Amino acid sequence: MVLPLLLAACLAVAASAAAPSSSFPNHGKQILRFAEDSFCSTLVLVHGYPCQEFKVTTPDGYILRVHRIPHGVAGVSSPSPKPVFLQHGVLQGGDDWVFYPPRNSLGFVLADEGFDVWIGNLRGTHWSRQHVSYSSGDKAYWDWTWDGHAQYDLPAMLNLVHENTGSELYYVGHSQGTLIALAAFSESKLMNVVRAAVLLSPIAYLKGMTSTLSRLAALLYMDQVRFFFSLLLAFSGIGAYLLRNLCSLDPRCADLLVLVTGRNCCFNASLTSYYRQFEPQGSSTKNLVHLAQMVRTGLFAKFDYGSSLGNMRAYSQVVPPTYEPANIPKSFPVFLVYGGKDTLSTPQGVQELAKRLVCTQQTLFLPNYAHADFVVGTRARQDVFDPVIKFIKAN
């Protein structure tokens, strides 16, 4: 009985996050309780850290917010602090890096270590909902996939950091944050501004993904069933309500996270209140379709429009172009950090990526870690963050 309920709740919430917020007026009040410009005041300043907000507009008109923690709580910055850029994953936002207590949040840990920390927020998330021409209630606003993140969002944000610091930066991404970086780097984007990259739970080749719910949805082509999705969108408030309140009704709700991410060794149950306030964040249905295509085909490729005519219009070829990680320069340092229990970024998928990369690689394999542990795990400070800091200092 519990599995169908969890499946319905999961899919409903995914659709809820992917749809324009005006489709259901209460959506904003139900999931996102803070103003779009309140990142600094809500999440950073309250802990005694400095915080600055920047806006940058992409070539296709999306207005993105980027947040900066220039130094640690002690108020002393290094003479020439290295800028580090943190990029969240799908259905998440930049708040992922600072919502935990400071000693356990990578954004604060890096600032206290003397780094100049910058936090990105992709289009469609709570913190980056503006556009020069559209509102988030317009269908046209949501016409994009992670291709757009790689082609427009990431270059806009990273060039902003480079222009304000005058330095090469260090990139840290999690999940989809690794995917869009790999896509951009493989097309020779940003190689002049990024010094090295840390990829936590990297995803690029998803054929071997073992996540029960995600793989089931992809293989059953649920992303293609428009009528099914329209029903989910219509009742998405119910789905979101179920997900937010299920834990208070049935302790077995923890199985939902397991079915999606794998069994996280170190996930703190006290984070439930956080997810009720911030998660899931926005993405487009088209983006979820693109990710599902990757699961079915196993390819690291651009969005497939499903017909030779559609692909010809978009790419001047019948099939979508693939991204080639082998194009990333040999001298570019990459740190691959992955877990043995992760059902999204599986060891098989990471090994396939590593085999295709010719750049300088360092790896860290944590046998008991699943997808969420790398950012919100109770042991992430010593298991993940400290090795990340060591890698950055060495490069």
List Cα–Cα distances, 93 to 171, 227, 234, 242, in angstroms: 16, 28, 24, 21
Which of 97, 115, 118 lies closest to 51, judged by CA? Answer: 118
Question: What is the spatial distance between Cα 387 and Cα 394, in angstroms, rounded to a whole number?
Answer: 10
Annotated catalytic residue, options 342, 345, 373, 383: 342
Which of 355, 352, 358 lies closest to 207, judged by CA? Answer: 352
95 classed as catalytic: no
Q: Are 92 and 98 in contact (CB under 8 A)?
A: no
Which of 294, 279, 253, 287 lies closest to 375, judged by CA? Answer: 279
126 classed as catalytic: no
Which helix (DSSP H) or strand (DSSP E) does residue 161 occupy?
A: helix 154-165
Top CATH class of 33-394 equals alpha beta
Tokens of 349: 């998928």
Beta strands 333-339 and 360-366, pairing class: parallel
Each domain of the chain, given as residue ranges in start order, spans 33-394
Tokens of 327: 């194009």
Annotated catalytic residue, options 16, 128, 175, 201: 175
Question: What is the spatial distance between Cα 17 and Cα 280, in angstroms, rounded to a whole number?
Answer: 6
* HEC sequence for 285-334: HHHHHHHHHHHHHCCCECCCCCCHHHHHHHHCCCCCCECCHHHCCCCCEE
Q: pLDDT per position in the chain (395 positions), as tens? A: 333 333 334 443 343 334 333 322 222 333 345 677 789 999 999 999 999 999 999 999 999 999 999 999 877 666 789 999 999 998 889 999 998 889 999 999 999 999 999 999 999 998 999 999 999 889 899 999 999 999 999 999 999 999 999 999 999 999 999 999 999 999 999 999 999 999 999 999 987 666 555 555 545 555 454 434 443 443 333 444 444 454 454 444 454 554 455 466 666 666 666 656 666 778 888 898 898 899 889 999 999 998 889 999 999 999 999 999 999 999 999 999 999 988 888 999 999 999 999 999 999 999 999 888 898 888 999 999 999 999 999 99
136 classed as catalytic: no
Which of 232, 279, 247, 317 lies closest to 96, judged by CA? Answer: 279
Annotated catalytic residue, options 27, 126, 131, 371: 371
